Each structure stands twice: as C-alpha cells, then as structure tokens.
Amino acid sequence: MKRTKLILVAGCLAALLPLAGFAHAGNPPVAGLHQVGKKFTFDKNKIPLSKPDLSVTNIQAIQNGQGRCYLRVSLKNSGPAPIPDSIYTSKTKIGIQMYKDNKPAGGMSLWAFDRNKTLQKPGKSLTRDWFKSPNNLLHAGIVYTIKVVADSNHELAEINEGNNVLTKRILCGPRIK
C-alpha cells in the first residue's frame, strides 16, 4: 500500500514538474503551486480540474475577386479538456462577436461557427469564412481594425480567459493613397 502511494505521488509530481518551469518563468501563477526557495510544492486541494481553452488564433482578409474582401477567422481549443455539449446547444446566443473599427459587426453562436463540433476536442482548430454577404465585405484599400471575441458571453469556464480576444489591423488589397 505504501509503495502504491509513493508511485502515485511520484507520478503526479513528474506530471506537474513542467508547470514549475512555467510558473517560474514570470508567467501567471498556477493554482496549487507554491515556490519556497528553489523548491516547488503543490497543495493538492487547489489543483484545478481540466478545462477547455477557446482562443482566437487568426483573422485574415481574403479578396473575393471583385475589389472587396471577406474575413477568415480561426479558433482553437488549446485546453486539455473538451468543450461541453451544453455550450453548443445554445443556437441563438452570441458566442463569437466581431467588431469592425470598435463597432459591433456581427456575431454567432459556437454552434453556428462549428456545427461539426470540431473545436470540442482538445487541441483542435477550425478556420471558417466569416459573413461573405455583400453588406459585410471590406472595401479595397482601406485599413480596418478587426477584433474577434470568442466566448463573448463568458459561458465557457476556461483555463485562460485572457486569450479570448484577437485584434488585428486588416488591409483589403493594395492601400489607396
């Protein structure tokens, strides 16, 4: 029995050791990890449960061949846990919100963005064209500030709530002088 506990504790510490380097490198604190001198200890009662981590990884302008552009947005579940089915069941709530030049420019539920639940699996990414209708296209030669917010309603409990937003300056085609 003592040997089993020792092996279990050693396995847990080996799995958590990389977190010590993460916390030591000036990164945000890891729940349950404490540094005393050069040693790290864990409070097993404060170790977080696994959670997903939905993040916006890229925004691109794609020319449509008619002097205008639509946007292509990429999201990723960077966390070690799946996104729960309950997050996908809300087909009307805005879960992903876009802003163009700091003004709301449309949004959609995670279900609408990811109908096949690709992002539900940890580590998976999904890239999708955003609002290709003529009313939503960007004009050529203009620089826009585009911001995309994933989990805009804060419905999903995530490991990192700080990576839900990506803002980029986007140019559609050549700059008009």
Q: How far apart are CA 92 and CA 90, in angstroms?
A: 6
71 CB burial (10 A radius; 0-12, 13-18, 19+): buried
Q: How far apart are CA 172 and CA 153, in angstroms?
A: 29
Whether the pLDDT of residue 76 is over 70: the answer is yes
CATH number for the domain harbouring residue 67 = 2.60.40.10
Same domain, yes or no: 39 and 66: no
Instruction: Return the structure tokens found at 126.
Output: 């999904």
Q: What's the pTM value of the predicted model, to 2 decimals?
A: 0.70
Same domain, yes or no: 36 and 111: no
Q: How far apart are CA 65 and CA 63, in angstroms?
A: 6
Asked if 138 and 70 count as a contact pair (C-beta separation under 8 A), the reply is yes
Same domain, yes or no: 141 and 76: yes
Same domain, yes or no: 8 and 59: no
Residue pLDDT, tens place only, 19-68: 444 444 454 455 555 567 766 665 555 545 689 999 999 999 999 888 88
Q: How far apart are CA 145 and CA 103, in angstroms?
A: 10
The answer as to whether 176 is a domain residue is no
The answer as to whether 177 is a domain residue is no
What is the phi-psi region of residue 114: left when phi exceeds 0, alpha when psi lies from -120 to 50, beta otherwise? beta
Q: How far apart are CA 44 and CA 33, in angstroms?
A: 9
